[in-house]
Amino acid sequence: MSLIHEIDYGTPASRSARQVTLTIDGRAITVPEGTSIMRASMEAGIQIPKLCATDMVDAFGSCRLCLVEVEGRNGTPSSCTTPVAPNMVVHTQTNRLKDIRRGVMELYISDHPLDCLTCAANGDCELQDMAGAVGLRDVRYGYEGDNHVRARNDGAINAKWMPKDESNPYFTYDPSKCIVCSRCVRACEEVQGTFALTIEGRGFASRVSPGAHEHFLDSECVSCGACVQACPTATLTEKSVIAIGQPEHSAVTTCAYCGVGCSFKAEMRGEELVRMVPWKEGQANRGHSCVKGRFAYGYASHKDRILNPMIREKISDPWREVTWEEAFSHIATEFRRIQYQYGRDAIGGITSSRCTNEETFLVQKLVRAGFGNNNVDTCARVCHSPTGYGLGQAFGTSAGTQNFDSIEQSDVVIVIGANPTDGHPVFGSRLKKRLRQGAKLIVIDPRRIDLVRTPHVEAAYHLPLKPGTNVAVMTALAHVIVTEGLAAEAFIRERCDWSEFEDWAAFVSEENHSPEATESFTGVPADLIRGAARLFATGGNGAIYYGLGVTEHSQGSTTVMAIANLAMATGNIGRPGVGVNPLRGQNNVQGSCDMGSFPHELPGYRHISDDATRDTFEKLWGVTLNNEPGLRIPNMLDAAVEGTFKGIYIQGEDILQSDPDTRHVSAGLEAMECVVVHDLFLNETANYAHVFLPGSTFLEKDRTFTNAERRINRVRRVMTPKNGLADWQVTQKLAQAMGLNWNYAHPSEIMDEIAATTPSFALVSYDYLDKMGSVQWPCNEAHPKGSPIMHVDGFVRGKGKFIRTEYVATDERTGPRFPLLLTTGRILSQYNVGAQTRRTKNVIWHAEDRLEIHPHDAEQRGIKDSDWIKLASRSGDTTLRAQITDRVSPGVVYTTFHHPDTQANVITTDFSDWATNCPEYKVTAVQVSPSNGPTQWQEDYNDLSNRSRRIAGKIQAAE
Amino acid sequence: MSHDQGREKLIRMANQIAIFFMSQPKTDRAKGVATHINRFWEPRMRKHLFECLDEGADGLMPLVVEASTLINRPSSPTKLDKSGGVAKPL
Ligand code: SF4
Ligand code: SF4
Ligand code: SF4
Ligand code: FES
């Protein structure tokens, strides 16, 4: 294995279809029109010296190192800013050019420290490389004059020198090494879209500055790392590189955080991870990343990681470390005892959206073939199950319709119930880039998310609806489109069932669905809805992106159908730039759903009652499968409380923290006799566990993740599992202990089994993925290269189905006791329940969950910013600190749920989506009042957590 | 959660489904409710639903009652599989 070197072509690729042929140093080369001479040369294999150009940003032309001579033209144009022309003849190396370049380099080096040997970038520095490339042999000027290099000049303070900025936990800024090429500034603007950096001052005095001469940490910087990657010198450098040194080998792998599924090069020294660098060829991220994937991997070696299996008889006992064998045989014995005593259906399993496709497939196989029932579910239950149901009904498959590249061709984008700049940051950056190019944005969200107004981006419409009224707003949009004659009739006639459309059109046209009629309860002014509807219907390619603000409602599935209706009614399906795009929360939500994690579905979304599908698996697995749907997570908990469900194997999920109505979850877990938690850490659920199986991280795995665009990405192992066994081996050994005859030698064999049984994966194998980089399913005979866009020639179900979507107010209503509506979300630096990110330096950005409350509501209650407040609902109460902001409307409060101390889910209720039981996280009626500290529940819970983390023979590590 | 709370929740879930299908074209309503419950409700849940129905359908919406003739009654009792649970080889 060696270090993967990616070619830097100097300037971005041109998209032109027209080709131009020119000659560079005697070689003829043909490139698309608009390509720079620099890029054309690099494609011909000729590397022109350069410093201020890199292919992640547009050329700027400031360093004058990349000069060339062009026959018939005067002077020495810079190759990075000069486009190719037909029949041009270019020379990249002449005596004149050599002299100029040496002169340029000499000036650079004269204001640069000469400590190359001890510099962190030694071996990975473009300034060093260029000095070598231009043949720089001596520097005639010393540091006596003006410089940025030394703190003192002849004893006097050097005002130009600036100290290092080490405020960011992951990278440093050393101004003395800066060559002011502005690559970082352009990366922050063009790639990330944050505009945190500027070049301050002019001429020789100029320097890079975050914000208005702030520290990185205090500036707008979101720590995405794009500037660090762009910097050609050691000025911006990862602290890990400074601490460890340059990497010597690397492997391409996939981020284990969010559903964007960014590709990274894991750069290693031995088994030590030096840094994660986004991979340019990654088709989801195109070389970009966010703070989580780029930097927040420290949890993998955190001291809290549990490395040995543990058992305890009762949850009040301390844990006892045991061998793997003992753990497996204990679980097998217990599960079989429970089944004998309470029935075959008394146990089940939960698969994880953080684990890989192969692991998930094995867990559902263990449940179906080993437990002999279908009690398997996944955390997608609590996030995107309504997507599965809603899109399945409308289009015939639950998948998002586009790839991420599609955004580059969108003209109008609706973002509803999602906060991409925080939740899906790399997609957020790609969206902002498109918006800066002129696409229009419609935000439908109770809260003024960042996208509504951020540097150089402003939403055309923000519809600040009351939580819980999505269906009414979406139907009102449809009302306007239909009644104003804006529906795409030709598309609908060709692609959808016309009589269903007519029925639906009559339904949405009813007066009670008009924006005027719904305004009183949605809170959205009618003219905003009318304007937004017209814009979406007539503004060109319209795309809809949505998140959990759509699904986590009692009408989640109905809203998904309403979204599908809107896309079909405006003809926005089946080509690039349009579509219905669920933004998935966790990295492998898509994959875990694909792999048959739902109790009613075998892999590939085929219902368990379907004889032909069962037959396929029965023949291969040599068992008879139960044809009845199993229990979903909330149903498992209900059954546990009722006494008919007694044992569970939970892989990589923390249902106690992530699921609603914590008291109900803990009551369910407490009623069980054998709870097995398989995870990296003693998570909150493990407080109720009898067996703990240590898990492995994505760095320790060879396998695949499937991101939100259905892209199957390879995950590659770069280190040995610290816990001894990879997760698939753990599940396999457990299956063997339960008497199943499994013999996978490598996870690729699991993928082969998936491909053999699941038509949409028919051509997928590790070899094929290695060859293709990644593919988007369906990937089979009909679509050998995968399917970037779905429903191109027709819907999966045949004709698209319009479905009536009647708004029904949730039962969760405000009243005198609970007058405010609580809605929940998340922020950039933390991930889900935070088990990983809380164990990294990311906590610097988000040390606690806060309750956002409007100044008006706060004042009424005598609450000031940062005060402790009590948050109460009919389910329970908790305390946290307030943050006063007008991002939320009066009557609405908002919080994140990243920290277990907050116990935000003590507040949420057990109401759920009518079709899928996806919990209604996004609407809870609450009251807020001043408080002095933690509630009794929080204290009791803390106590329980501390007690249940005791390990016999070990001094308890302080949290 | 007591037995009553469990039942209350089940009734609420069934009614929620009925409310959605109430707004659908008339011919699809009862069939829609029944199909949905058959496809997504585990036998234990359907068994409890039938207990409610058999005891007078208190609190259940008329559409659920109407749909019940199309809902599969689970072969009772489902939990008494004393085989040890291993699915039988073919
Ligand atoms: S880390 Fe990202 S956001 Fe921060 S300054 Fe660099 S490019 Fe901008
Ligand atoms: S910090 Fe790096 S990228 Fe930015 S201007 Fe200085 S040398 Fe160039
Ligand atoms: S968390 Fe998401 S956006 Fe960030 S690097 Fe990972 S996959 Fe990409
Ligand atoms: S690389 Fe072209 S001017 Fe700097």
In this prediction, residue A190 carries a pLDDT of 93
The answer to whether the CB atoms of A667 and B1 lie below 8 A apart is: yes
Q: Distances in Å between the alpha carbon of A232 and those of A122, A127, A747? A: 11, 7, 39
Instruction: Indicate if the pLDDT at residue A134 is higher than 80.
Output: yes
Domain count of the fold of chain A: 5
In this prediction, residue A828 carries a pLDDT of 63
Would you state the structure tokens that stand for residue A80, as one six-digit string?
């990075």
Cα–Cα distance measured from residue A955 to residue A72, given in angstroms and rounded to the nearest whole number: 80
The answer to whether the CB atoms of B12 and A811 lie below 8 A apart is: yes
Which has more pLDDT, A204 or A264?
A: A264
Omega of the bond leading into B89 within 30 degrees of 0 (cis): no
Instruction: Read off the pLDDT of residues A34-45 as tens digits, 9 standing for 90 and up.
Output: 999 999 999 999
Domain shared by A165 and A247, yes or no? yes
| DSSP 8-state class, residue A366 | I
Q: How far is A611 from chain B (nearest CA, A)?
A: 14
3-state secondary structure of A631: coil
Instruction: Indicate if the pLDDT at residue A957 is higher than 70.
Output: no
**How many A-B residue pairs are in contact by the CB < 8 A criterion?**
120
Instruction: Read off the pLDDT of residues A707-737 as tens digits, 9 standing for 90 and up.
Output: 888 998 888 888 888 888 888 999 999 999 9
Interchain CB contact of A625 with B (< 8 Å): yes
Q: Tell me what percent of the residues of chain A surpass a pLDDT of 70.
A: 97
Q: For residue A608, give the chain B residue with the closest CA.
A: B39
CATH number at residue A651: 3.40.50.740
Residue B78 pLDDT class (50, 70, 90 cuts): very low
Cα–Cα distance measured from residue A840 to residue A292, given in angstroms and rounded to the nearest whole number: 9
Q: Is the separation of the CB atoms in A933 and A878 below 8 Å?
A: no
Q: How many CB atoms lie within 10 A of CB A554?
A: 26
The answer to whether the CB atoms of B85 and A344 lie below 8 A apart is: yes
Domain shared by A236 and A376, yes or no? no
Establish if A781 belongs to a structural domain.
no
Phi, psi (rounded to 5 degrees) for A439: -65, 155
Instruction: Read off the pLDDT of residues A68-126 as tens digits, 9 standing for 90 and up.
Output: 999 999 999 999 999 999 999 999 999 999 999 999 999 888 888 888 899 999 989 99
Distance B2 CA to ligand 3 centre (A): 43
3-state secondary structure of A377: strand
3-state secondary structure of B14: helix
Residue B41 falls in which region: left (phi positive, over 0), alpha (psi -120 to 50) or beta: beta
Domain shared by A402 and A500, yes or no? yes
Domain shared by A251 and A106, yes or no? no
Instruction: Indicate if the pLDDT at residue A898 is higher than 80.
Output: no
For residue A624, how many C-alpha atoms fall within 13 Å in the half-sphere facing its CB?
8
Domain shared by A839 and A856, yes or no? yes
Of the candidates A600, A599, A596, the one whose C-alpha atom is nearest the C-alpha of residue A609 is: A600
Instruction: Read off the pLDDT of residues A366-422 as tens digits, 9 standing for 90 and up.
Output: 999 999 999 999 877 777 788 888 888 888 887 889 999 999 999 999 999 888 988
Q: Once rounded to an integer, what is the mean pLDDT over residues A298-319?
A: 88
The answer to whether the CB atoms of B85 and A336 lie below 8 A apart is: yes
Cα–Cα distance measured from residue A48 to residue A37, given in angstroms and rounded to the nearest whole number: 9
CATH number at residue A35: 3.10.20.740
Would you state the structure tokens that stand for residue A69, as one six-digit string?
């001579």
Q: Once rounded to an integer, what is the mean pLDDT over residues A139-146?
A: 73
User: Whose structure tokens read 């005639």?
Assistant: A140
Q: How far is B39 from chain A (nearest CA, A)?
A: 7
What are the domain boundaries of chain B?
3-70
Q: Once rounded to an integer, what is the mean pLDDT over residues A481-493?
A: 93
Of the candidates A149, A194, A196, the one whose C-alpha atom is nearest the C-alpha of residue A174 is: A149
List chain A residues with CB under 8 Å of B45.
Answer: 631, 635
Domain shared by A598 and A563, yes or no? no
Q: Is the separation of the CB atoms in A278 and A294 below 8 Å?
A: yes
Cα–Cα distance measured from residue A260 to residue A622, given in angstroms and rounded to the nearest whole number: 37
| DSSP 8-state class, residue A687 | G
Residue A831 pLDDT class (50, 70, 90 cuts): low
Instruction: Indicate if the pLDDT at residue A313 is higher than 60.
Output: yes
Share the mean pLDDT of chain A: 89
Lowest pLDDT segment from A171-180, A221-230, A817-826: A817-826
Distance A582 CA to ligand 3 centre (A): 16
Lowest pLDDT segment from A137-151, A225-239, A300-314, A844-858: A137-151
Residue A29 pLDDT class (50, 70, 90 cuts): very high
Tell which of A558, A582, A606 closes a domain.
A582
| Nearest ligand to the C-alpha atom of residue A221 | 1
Q: How far is A803 from chain B (nearest CA, A)?
A: 8
Residue A936 pLDDT class (50, 70, 90 cuts): confident
Domain shared by A646 and A759, yes or no? yes
Instruction: Read off the pLDDT of residues B3-35 as tens digits, 9 standing for 90 and up.
Output: 567 788 888 889 989 988 988 888 888 898 999
Cα–Cα distance measured from residue A304 to residue A300, given in angstroms and rounded to the nearest whole number: 10
Instruction: Read off the pLDDT of residues A341-378 as tens digits, 9 standing for 90 and up.
Output: 999 999 999 998 888 899 999 999 999 999 999 999 98
**Which of A339, A558, A560, A811 has the highest number of chain B CBs within 10 A, making it the mutation to test binding with B?**
A339
Domain shared by A714 and A756, yes or no? yes
Q: Distances in Å between the alpha carbon of A908 and those of A542, A878, A929? A: 34, 11, 17
User: Whose structure tokens read 């924006």?
Assistant: A515
Q: How far is B75 from chain A (nearest CA, A)?
A: 11
Burial class from Cβ neighbours inside 10 Å (0-12, 13-18, 19+) for residue A116 reads middle
In this prediction, residue A958 carries a pLDDT of 38
Which 735-764 residues of chain A touch chain B by CB within 8 A? 738-739
Of the candidates A446, A356, A311, A395, the one whose C-alpha atom is nearest the C-alpha of residue A698 is: A356
A914 vs B20, B74, B84: nearest CB: B20
In this prediction, residue A959 carries a pLDDT of 36
Q: Is the separation of the CB atoms in A536 and A570 below 8 Å?
A: yes
Residues 6+ apart with CB under 8 A from B10: B45, B48, B49, B52
Strands A347-351, A647-651: parallel, antiparallel or unpaired by DSSP?
parallel
A806 vs B13, B23, B83: nearest CB: B23
Tell which of A248, A266, A301 closes a domain.
A301
| DSSP 8-state class, residue A609 | T
Instruction: Indicate if the pLDDT at residue A930 is higher than 60.
Output: yes
Q: Once rounded to an integer, what is the mean pLDDT over residues A932-952?
A: 78
In this prediction, residue B85 carries a pLDDT of 42
Establish if A808 belongs to a structural domain.
no
Cα-Cα-Cα-Cα dihedral sign, residues A683, A684, A687, A688: negative
Residue type, A562: A
Of the candidates A470, A444, A447, the one whose C-alpha atom is nearest the C-alpha of residue A561 is: A470
Interchain CB contact of B75 with A (< 8 Å): no
The answer to whether the CB atoms of A631 and B44 lie below 8 A apart is: yes
Domain shared by A560 and A487, yes or no? yes
Alpha carbon A532 to chain centroid, angstroms: 28
**Which of B16, B28, B37, B78 has the highest number of chain A CBs within 10 A, making it the mutation to test binding with A?**
B16
Instruction: Indicate if the pLDDT at residue A23 is higher than 90.
Output: yes
Tell which of A254, A276, A301 closes a domain.
A301
The β-bridge partners of A880 are A869
Interchain CB contact of B23 with A (< 8 Å): yes
Q: For residue A641, give the chain B residue with the closest CA.
A: B1
Q: Is the separation of the CB atoms in A738 and A362 below 8 Å?
A: no
Instruction: Indicate if the pLDDT at residue A484 is higher than 70.
Output: yes
In this prediction, residue A721 carries a pLDDT of 86
The β-bridge partners of A252 are A265
In this prediction, residue A110 carries a pLDDT of 86
Q: How many CB atoms lie within 10 A of CB A140?
A: 6
Rg of the Cα atoms in chain A: 29
Residue type, A540: G
Domain interval for residue A669: 310-383+589-776
Q: Tell me what percent of the residues of chain A surpass a pLDDT of 90.
A: 50
Q: For residue B14, give the chain A residue with the closest CA.
A: A914
CATH number at residue A829: 2.40.40.20
In this prediction, residue A954 carries a pLDDT of 67
Instruction: Indicate if the pLDDT at residue A516 is higher than 60.
Output: yes
Q: What is the DSSP string of A523-534?
A: ---HHHHHHHHH
